[in-house]
Amino acid sequence: MAKTDSQWTLFGWQGITLQVPADWNLGRVDGDYKSGYARLDDAEIVRAEVEWREGKKRQLPIEQLVDRYVAGLEKKAKKSDLPFAVTRRARFLRDKRWLEGSEYELFIWEADYRTYNLARCCAECGRIVLLRVLTRLQEKAEDLVEGVIKSLDDHAHEGQVCWSLYGLHFQLPADFKLSSQELKSGHLQLCFAKDRQVCRVHRVSLAHLLLKDTGMGDWYEAFFRKQLRDFKVAVEEAPVRGHPGLRVRGQPRSRWLQLIRPLPFLNPRPRQFQDSRVWHCEATDKICIIDHLYRKREEGDDLPLRLSDGYFCHQDSQTEPPGHAQLPASAQ
């Protein structure tokens, strides 16, 4: 990939962040904050994979983790009769100062692709991360590899975890844990939970079609009808970060009304409040929705508006993702 023509973007998932070329997109995710896996693909091949695990007190040194990992790969390559070569303690990064103080190993392995690997135990949080960047054997990719690997960050900052995928970016307090996700291109949905609070982030595509014959408020109430049925809902127009938008507030229906509704017998739905922000981002043709559900009135603290801050749906040239203001050198 040429040095000058690539646009870079931020990928963020479960506290792992990376700067990657804009055409690398999330292909697969697995696991949770404690341990997990994410894969980024371009239009043709897998481009990067990252695995993470919480550091434990008694764990193998990084070098031995790499021994074990490489032995596994060799075995697999043998079975499938692939040529396989590995270079341990490889020197493919020009700048390694950022790794000082942490236990790590850089290594390369080649089969039908070449992969550049960093295995590291973070000196700050103890998380163990294996990051690999894949290139074709004939590809000149030193700058690209260095740009991606050097941008690795693996923990929350000031209590905020950065989530960034498919052009959707936000920071969420670290005590909200991802509880479910649906990553369909027409409708992204991430659901987070903290104690008995829930935060849901939605992004719906093709806004111009959805809003062609209807206002945003009517669209919202129809789209989320099922979810809204337990609330007394008040919708008001309220721009969100320069976009036309709504604030939707839901109060629990009276206990009496809830009583006469056909509620599930064993699992009655909880009485809760809802505070949501909904807006139309014309620049990206999306409708963005952030819901906050909570049990006690005083827990409503306008979380959706704070989440919408800065660079949720599109980036002005003025707005850089906080904490990631600088792109890898190779991107400039």
State in angstroms the smallest separation of the CB of 95 from Zn ion.
Answer: 19
Is 230 among the residues that bind Zn ion (CB under 5 A)? Answer: no
Structure tokens at 300: 């409503």
Binder among 30, 32, 112, 124 for Zn ion (CB under 5 A): 124
Which range in 33-41, 63-71, 258-266, 311-319 contacts Zn ion by CB under 5 A? 311-319
Is 291 among the residues that bind Zn ion (CB under 5 A)? Answer: no
Binder among 118, 131, 281, 331 for Zn ion (CB under 5 A): 281
State in angstroms the smallest separation of the CB of 235 from Zn ion.
Answer: 20
Radius of gyration (C-alpha) of the chain in whole angstroms: 23
Structure tokens at 205: 């595509």
State in angstroms the smallest separation of the CB of 75 from Zn ion.
Answer: 31
For residues 297 and 311, give the distance between their C-alpha atoms in angstroms, rounded to a whole number. 28
Q: How many CB atoms lie within 10 A of CB 167?
A: 19
Which range in 4-12, 62-70, 117-125, 244-252 contacts Zn ion by CB under 5 A? 117-125
Q: Which of residues 40-69 bind Zn ion (CB under 5 A)?
A: none
Q: How many CB atoms lie within 10 A of CB 88?
A: 14
Binder among 88, 249, 253, 314 for Zn ion (CB under 5 A): 314
Check if the beta carbon of residue 178 is closer than 8 Å to that of residue 12. no
Edge-first strand listing for the sheet containing 16-21? 16-21, 8-13, 160-165, 168-173
Which range in 5-13, 64-72, 118-126, 255-263 contacts Zn ion by CB under 5 A? 118-126
Is 119 among the residues that bind Zn ion (CB under 5 A)? Answer: no
* Residue closer to Zn ion, measured from CB, 118 or 122: 122
User: In 3-state terms, what secondary structure has residue 42?
Assistant: coil
Is 155 among the residues that bind Zn ion (CB under 5 A)? Answer: yes
Is 10 among the residues that bind Zn ion (CB under 5 A)? Answer: no
Check if the beta carbon of residue 280 is closer than 8 Å to that of residue 313. no
Is 125 among the residues that bind Zn ion (CB under 5 A)? Answer: yes
Nearest C-alpha neighbor of 311 from the set 329, 275, 276, 284 = 284
Residue 131: φ, ψ to 5°: -115, 130
Dihedral of the CA atoms 75, 52, 23, 328 (nearest 10)?
-110
Task: State the number of binding residues for Zn ion (CB under 5 A).
Answer: 9
* Residue closer to Zn ion, measured from CB, 155 or 187: 155
Residues lying near Zn ion in the complex (CB under 5 A) are found at 122, 124-125, 127, 154-155, 281, 313-314
